[in-house]
Chains A and B, each alone.
Chain A
Amino acid sequence: MPVMSYIQAVTTALREEMQRDKKVFILGEDVGKKGGVFRATDGLYETFGEARVLDTPLAESAIAGVGIGAAMYGMRPVAEMQFADFIMPAVNQIISEAAKMRYRSNNDWSVPMTIRAPYGGGVHGALYHSQSVEAIFANQPGLKIVMPSTPYDVKGLLKAAIRDNDPVLFFEHKRAYRLLKGEVPEDDYVLPIGKADVKREGEDITVITYGLCVHFALQAAEKLAEDGINAHILDLRTIYPLDQEAIIEAAKKTGKVLLITEDNKEGSIIGEVAAIIAEHCLFDLDAPINRLAGPDVPSMPYAPTMEKYFMMNPDKVEKAMRDLAEY
């Protein structure tokens, strides 16, 4: 089975979907000749041509809005926001339009569009190339938000997003792009949107997280295992709507739950996960629900001292997991 990086899995999924369905096309800034600033669309312009790998003017609301119009007609646009931080001008199009189209038209119109965006820090990107923006969109029924953690999941979930008949936000951790490698089958497989995935079985503590933090938790879990502490790790994969069943099952399994996000703590995804556990698992818990998250400051600073302070890493995760195990 071929081993590929996280970003190669993105490119592979795009290429395969464009080969499979002529309605699929890409639009975004610098996605054409350049192949994207991260090279996620590398080589696609050469294969599929200018019309299907469309360099747009530098205007995010138009990228989203033109994509919505094309999707309403019956195309399958895959829009790229160059950085998740730059999605803000498109928020009105995404929340007022894409998310509500099916509902407001009483199922007459729909928006089968995927919006991809690199998010996350740890790459010296400072305030506006480091953010986790998912919480802004995670109370908007009509949207689905996918945040994969492995190359295998990237390929299967991106294909699912493109084939989905509703709008999907697909956030890719930019530090994971070249950091993470893994086996990715050559066959045409699709993973279900809306389903979390157990990434490690364990009996002592439960860690629920998503994206790059899944790897920090897996690394920490190996160290804890040396001391006889076995961590159960649930990867949310889809962070909206949440897989409640899987969250409840994972929390009940050990009764000790640590929730991790790279985002600012207050109002983040894991607050909702905590509420689900609080509602359903009160008598199964042996410790307070723990949350490990970024500080409540506007964004990640540039200077390495402050960036490191903000950014999640395996050491922070290991400490939090150890503290919980000892509770």
Chain B
Amino acid sequence: MTKKRHQELDLTDEQVLEMYKTMLLARKLDERMWLLNRSGKIPFVISCQGQEAAQVGAAFALNRKEDYIAPYYRDMGVVLAFGMTAKELMLSAFAKADDPNSGGRQMPGHFGQKKNRILSGSSPVTTQVPHAVGVALAAKMEKKDFVSFVTLGEGSSNQGDFHEGLNFAGVHKLPVITMVENNKYAISVPYDRQVASNNIADRAQGYGMPGVTVDGNDPLAVYQVIKEARDRATRGEGPSLIEAVCYRLTAHSSDDDDRTYREKGEVEEAKKNDSVITFASYLKENEILTDSVEQRLNDEITKIINEATDFAENAAYAQAEDTLKYVYEEK
């Protein structure tokens, strides 16, 4: 009997089902946040939709107990896989005091949680790349075998910090994996008005590291290349650049109207490759996602999201005076 694709990657049925569950949870949480936004309950949403396969496939290839991640604002799939809960993400969406990312200080999507080794992020894009390189430098100096993993969009790969960070990592052969989630748009500007090279992965050549373009709608393909990159890093062979080609299925954010710059037909076409659907098909073909399992998963996720929403909506905001806290260390 020929091995199935996930078995060739040494992934068990349980593991791929867990991957799917994480993707679906990210998608459904994101959809709920849009509903909450459109009903006036939360001020802002920035989406992961269309990028879940890349995010979850990559995260599962890392050591989720030891590796450090510097995610960007769309990476709900990554942070869920690294231990942030639906409840915590909803607390962030509602800007409540117990939001572990920022205590309600930052907009949603600005992830950070020390206990899960999720570096805090900001809004000026690409600043996280040198941070991940710095963590990798620490790993090398301290002779630890964890790696750091940093993500960004293709538009962000034009920033100086991308160049400075990757070159630094290349020169010092640091264990850092950079994954560009190429979703084809930087807000309204398409790839060919952003990037002069045919693909993002080609840029790796200038930094002395391997560059790989992978189908970002295929979580198993992404898993494979990130796993290989991680193996290289822990063998002391240095950094890698991975480009996961996806498509942004929503507008840039809840404040954007993408009808002003892209055709509806293009989005409809992309939805045919929606990884949440295509990966479900793969799991069904292989009798991992049976009807009863699917029903159970859906029920479970609906329950998780309902509970998270209610919990976060009813949670307390920070006190007004908390504005003044934590500018400097408080002894």
Contact = CB atoms under 8 A, between A and B. Distances in A.
B130 A93 contact: yes
Which residue of B68, B101, B124, B131 has the most chain A CB atoms within 10 A of its CB atom? B131
Contacts of B105: 103-104, 106
A106 B328 contact: no
Interface stretch (B46-54, B56-64, B157-165): B157-165
Interface in B263-284: none
B103 interface: yes
Interface string B308-331: 000000000000000001111110
Given A61-B161, A69-B137, A105-B101, A166 B328 contact: yes
Name the 8 nearest CB pairs between A and B, nearest first.
Answer: A69-B134, A65-B130, A106-B103, A69-B131, A62-B164, A70-B134, A73-B138, A105-B120
A56 B137 CA distance: 12
B167 A57 contact: yes
B165 A104 contact: no
Nearest to A107: B326
B327 A142 contact: yes
Interface stretch (A94-102, A116-124, A267-275): A94-102
Contacts, number: 142
B113 A108 contact: yes
Given A101-B120, A166-B328, 9 more contacts: A61-B160, A65-B161, A69-B134, A73-B68, A96-B122, A103-B105, A104-B122, A105-B102, A106-B99
27 contacts: A51-B140, A62-B130, A62-B161, A62-B165, A65-B134, A66-B130, A66-B131, A67-B134, A69-B130, A69-B131, A70-B135, A72-B119, A75-B141, A77-B134, A93-B127, A96-B122, A96-B127, A100-B122, A101-B120, A103-B105, A105-B101, A106-B105, A107-B330, A108-B100, A109-B112, A109-B120, A164-B329
A45 interface: no
Contact of A65 (B101, B123, B141, B165): B165
B317 to A, nearest CB: 13
A104 B138 CA distance: 23
Nearest to A59: B164
Interface of A: 25, 51-52, 54, 56-57, 59, 61-62, 64-75, 77, 89, 92-93, 96-97, 100-110, 141-142, 144, 164-166
A66 B327 contact: no
Interface in B72-117: 99-103, 105-106, 110, 112-114
